Amino acid sequence: MNRGGWIVLAVSLIVIACAVTLWPGGHRAPGGSARSPAPGAQASLAALPQPSKGFAIPRPRLLRDRAGVTRWAPVLEAAEARERPTRSSPGVVRVGTQTPEGTTNLVVVIGEAVRHGVTWVHARLAVLPDARTGWLPRSVLGGWQFVMTHLVINRARETLTLLRAGRVVFRTRVGVGKPSTPTPAGQFYIRDRLTRYASPEYGPLAFGTSARSPYETDWPAGGFIGIHGTDQPGLIPGQVSHGCIRLRNPAIRALGRLLPIGTPVTIT
């Protein structure tokens, strides 16, 4: 080979080496392997390694049946709850943005309706008489939240049972209202969770519910029913309270790990 031929060969080798380096895939990436040059995008994609085990895309899972799912939303603007889903309908009660405990007020949704282009939400209300419902404009509520839990309190058996997706996950004996101040029966929901307060009679943890006692309306904040611990565990189970549901302290702590806000409560 003459001198000119060697020069042409050397330049050709450099060009080929550069082409190999610059080919999308020629760059050895961290955690990856160098891709072989291929004559097209398809071949280049085909040459990609399989995603590593650390990046395996799992099998898509469908949601469970909607049955047993409860929807709730925070109240962002105070509004009048109506008897029917129209602005001209009589008011039931003014729903505020805060609970007596200073937490965000919330409502549990039991239906929806659209009237004249406005979406209305049928919600359970924390008012007397218990189990009242009303219609609120969707616009005053925040984003939907969902729970798959349901709390059932049986006054006659003095038991509290928590279900998740229809299955019992927790059960304990409880104290319920005395015959003179019975725990109200009906459909309610968990509104808030109080901890680290300095009231030993309520134990270490208390949940606020939407239930109100018709017998204790002069109680501070109007006589709302709570689910809480106690400093008198020897009284449980029994008909011992002013309407609240009392649990022994280990039981309320255990419930506290399982019970989300917005959980519907059925008291029978």
Partner 1 sequence: MSVNRPPTATATLGQSLFDVDGALSETAGRLPTRGQFIRRGGRRLAAGAVGGAGLALGIGFVPGSAHARSEREDLAILNFALALEYLQASFYTEAERVGALHGPLAQQARVVGSHERAHVAALRAVLGRQAIARPRFDFRGTTDDPKSFRATAVALEDLSVGAYKEQLPRINSDHYLAAAVAIQSVEGRHAAWIRRLAGIVPAVNAFDEPVSDRRTVQLVNATRFVTLKVPHTSSKRSPSFTG
Active site residue 244: yes
Considering the complex, what minimum distance in angstroms separates the CB of residue 181 from partner 1? 7
Contacts (CB under 8 A) with partner 1, residues 132-151: 137-139, 142-146
Choosing from 32, 96, 166, 250, the residue that interacts with partner 1 (CB under 8 A) is 32
Question: Least separation, in Å, of the C-beta of 73 and partner 1?
Answer: 9
Site string for partner 1, 155-174 (x = CB under 8 A): --------------------
Span of 16-24, 78-86, 123-131, 154-162 interacting with partner 1 by CB under 8 A: 16-24
The single residue among 59, 180, 234, 257 that binds partner 1, judged by CB under 8 A, is 59
Per rule CB under 8 A, is residue 234 in the interface with partner 1?
no
- Which of 33, 36, 86, 268 is the binder for partner 1 (CB under 8 A)? 33
Give the residue from 182, 179, 148 showing the smallest Cα distance to 267. 182
Looking at residues 190 to 219 of the shown chain, list those that interact with partner 1 (rule: CB under 8 A). Answer: 191-199, 201-202, 206, 208, 213, 216, 219
Torsions phi, psi for 11 (to 5 deg) = -60, -40
Total of chain residues touching partner 1, rule CB under 8 A: 88
Q: Radius of gyration (Cα) for the chain, nearest Å?
A: 31
- Does residue 36 belong to the site contacting partner 1 (CB under 8 A)? no
- Is 228 among the residues known to form the active site? yes
| Interface with partner 1 (CB under 8 A), residue from 5, 117, 129, 179 | 117
Give whole-number Cα distances, 208 to 86, 101, 195, 202, in Å: 30, 8, 11, 12
- The closest of 137, 106, 158, 92 to 264, measured between CA atoms, is 106
Contact 205, 194 (CB under 8 A): yes
Asked if 258 interacts with partner 1 (CB under 8 A), we say no
- Catalytic pick among 27, 122, 228, 242: 228
71 forms part of the interface with partner 1 (CB under 8 A) = yes
Rounded CA separation 90/76 (Å): 22
Q: Edge-to-edge, what's the strand order for the sheet holding 133-137?
A: 91-95, 79-82, 133-137, 118-124, 106-115, 70-74, 145-147
Selected binder of partner 1 within 37, 38, 76, 161 (CB under 8 A): 76
Rounded to the nearest 10°, the torsion over CA 71, 155, 181, 233 is: -100
Q: Which residue has the tokens 């003459």?
A: 2
Site for partner 1 in 77-96 (CB under 8 A): none
Q: Which of 165, 143, 263 is CA-nearest to residue 211?
A: 263
